[in-house]
Amino acid sequence: MEWLETIHLQAGKGLSQKVKKHLFELTCKIKSQNNEPGLQMVKAFWHSSHKADHVLFLFWDSASVPSNGSALGVRLEKIMNQYGLTDHNTWLPAKGDYHE
């Protein structure tokens, strides 16, 4: 089953550059090691106009979806929490006849 995990961070004042660097390092490390069963992709983004807003996207394909997020997601949220407020969620794909 495909699912998505997001970790949104609103960084504290003056921390944006430090956060960008740390998220880049984290995503590179995760991509190079990729020892997480079911992890398909990890991507980091920051908001185009609100420089303190950052988000990590973890794309998964696994038999089940942990309601509180993956172990990796929980670890990443704890790391990101040192920079500000975090919001950690899991998402399931929309199915059906929805078309834009």
- 96 pLDDT band, cuts 50/70/90, is low
pLDDT of residue 33: 87
What fold characterizes domain 2-91?
Alpha-Beta Plaits (3.30.70)
Q: Is pLDDT of 97 > 90? A: no
Q: Is the dihedral of CA 78, 80, 83, 86 positive or negative?
A: negative
pLDDT of residue 16: 84
- 94 pLDDT band, cuts 50/70/90, is confident
**Helix boundaries (H) for the chain:** 16-33, 71-81
What tokens does 97 get?
């006849």
Report pTM: 0.87
Pairing of the two strands 53-61 and 39-46: antiparallel
Asked whether the beta carbons of 90 and 67 are under 8 A apart, the reply is yes
pLDDT of residue 91: 94
Which pLDDT tens digit goes with each residue over 30-88?
988 878 899 999 999 989 998 899 999 999 999 999 989 999 999 999 999 999 999 99
Closest residue by Cα to residue 57 from 71, 39, 75 = 39
- Domain residue extents for the chain: 2-91
Q: Is pLDDT of 95 > 90? A: no
| Helix 71-81 / helix 16-33 crossing angle, nearest 10 deg | 160
Tally Cβ neighbours within 10 Å of residue 74: 14
